[in-house]
């Protein structure tokens, strides 16, 4: 990703005041007076992923696995991202799995990688690929599987207004792509009740 020069907080707040005026309201009225500062702070949280290096999150691994070589799956990782086309929420869950080759990573790191990429302007297909590709590149496991299920607010609150429609994307690498039985095992684990 190329480096983008960030505007100052004052410039960001001025832009938010402009959007409030564009929407038809007065940014100086009592209820909106502090809104530009609140929105700027919210954007810092919404887009915190730009300041996180997902590769660095996975670099500390553990070799003491007693030869464990079966699927490691972290299910139902809550995901909040933002559509790069409309800047509205994408809300759902990610399921992240890998087949260790020799080392494992702390499971919280898998959730952190999901959040590092989700907290950016995204499309779900790219988000799914980024998570899987990073895990494969850093951990070098026998396989990686990522499945994301989410609802896109750009479809529920505008446009076609399709409430309850969910999008599912997956990225299967290594054994999860090449071995149908391994892929079926993963999908069964994802669907199994927690």
CA 18, chain centre distance (Å):
29
Is 86 known to sit in a ligand binding site?
Answer: yes
Tokens 């892929």 sit at which residue?
Answer: 183
Beta strands in the chain (DSSP E): 61-62, 72-83, 89-99, 104-105, 121-122, 143-152, 167-174
Collect all residues with Cβ–Cβ distance below 8 Å to 16 and sequence separation of at least 6: 27, 35, 36, 39, 40
Active-site positions read 83-86, 124, 152, 154
Contact 7, 40 (CB under 8 A): no
Contact 89, 50 (CB under 8 A): no
3 is in an annotated binding site: no
Task: Answer yes or no: is 83 a known binding residue.
Answer: yes
- Answer yes or no: are the C-beta atoms of 27 and 36 closer than 8 Å: yes
Please state the residue numbers annotated as binding site for Zn(2+).
Answer: 83, 86, 154
Residue ranges for the known binding site are 83, 86, 154
């Amino acid at each position: 990703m190329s480096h983008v020069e960030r505007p100052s907080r004052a410039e960001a707040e001025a832009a938010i005041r402009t959007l409030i005026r564009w929407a038809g309201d007065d940014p100086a009225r009592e209820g909106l007076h502090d809104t530009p500062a609140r929105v700027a702070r919210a954007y810092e949280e919404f887009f915190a992923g730009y300041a996180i290096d997902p590769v660095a999150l996975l670099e500390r691994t553990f070799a003491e696995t007693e030869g464990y070589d079966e699927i490691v799956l972290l299910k139902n990782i809550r995901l909040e991202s933002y559509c790069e086309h409309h800047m509205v929420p994408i809300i759902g869950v990610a399921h992240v799995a890998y087949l260790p080759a020799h080392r494992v990573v702390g499971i919280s790191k898998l959730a952190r990688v999901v959040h590092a990429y989700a907290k950016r302007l995204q499309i779900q297909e790219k988000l799914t690929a980024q998570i899987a590709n990073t895990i494969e590149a850093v951990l070098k496991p026998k396989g990686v599987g990522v499945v994301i299920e989410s609802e896109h607010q750009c479809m529920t609150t505008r446009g076609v207004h399709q409430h309850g429609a969910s999008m599912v994307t997956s990225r299967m690498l290594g054994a999860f792509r090449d071995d149908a039985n391994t892929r079926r095992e993963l999908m069964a684990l994802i669907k199994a009740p927690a």
